[in-house]
Structure 1
Amino acid sequence: MWVKTAGVSLLLLVAPVVAEETAKTPQSVAANTTGSAPDTMGTLLSLGAGLLAVIAIIYGCAWIIRRMNGMTGMNNNAIKVVSVMAIGARERIALVEVGGQQILLGITPSSIRTLQVFDEPVVDTSSGNTGDFAKRLQGMIGKSWTAPSKE
């Protein structure tokens, strides 16, 4: 990706100079043979190499920052999102495990509220099977989650 971007940038730098060189008349080329004319191809190569070096430094810094993200010393395993269920277009309920205790949260765009704090885990997080989350949640809360019928 960055090679393609660098190639396009180099082409945009080279095109005006090449067009200028081809538009010169033979008399002006002969007049500039005194050695005072700048070496345009060398300048372009130097500019291109500098551009590639700057892009490589930017990508290198981004890579280092990504790698150092895990070295903050914070315990990222203290809070786990066990399951999330969409209730509406922008509303969700989430089952979060904090310190071995599971908490049911209601999440809206403007607030987060605690709906239920469970004494014993609703979902076993040690196994990867969480497919029947709604059934287990319904059993723990004791409410029916069926949608109202339209008459």
Structure 2
Amino acid sequence: MKRSLSAVLAAASSLWVEVAVAAAPAAAPVAAAAATESPTAQLTQLVLGLLLVLGLIFFLAWLLRRVQHATPGSKQVIEVVGVRTVGPRDRLLLVQIGDEQILIGHTPGTLTALHVMKQPVAMPSTVRPATPEFAQRLMELLGKDQKDKS
């Protein structure tokens, strides 16, 4: 899936280069015409170009998210149930593998199984997964937080 996405991006970038090379001889008259345009027209063109680029970035981010979630058998065998930061570079991970849960210590150089749970830890339904402050605020502004609760 990643190979096909990278192939599409490579084809799009090569097409972009071909269009830019083809438009290069016509760039001189455009630059001369731009000098005679009003500042308002130039500002409008700049803002529309910026909006186009931002729209393209958001579209590609959305597409990447859709492609990552579209994998067949989206239910993973190994899932990270919870993560707790213990130090600047040390974490505890609770990993679900089938019906077992394993507590793992993660340091920069090692992963160590600390404990295998005999009884899986039950997650309360009211607990939301931890999100970074910026991402949480952005989801609230976009209204996505309300959709997740229902």
Same fold (TM over 0.5): no
TM-score by length of 2: 0.43
Q: Which has the higher contact order (CA 8 A, sep 6+)?
A: 1
Report which of the two has the higher share of helix: 2
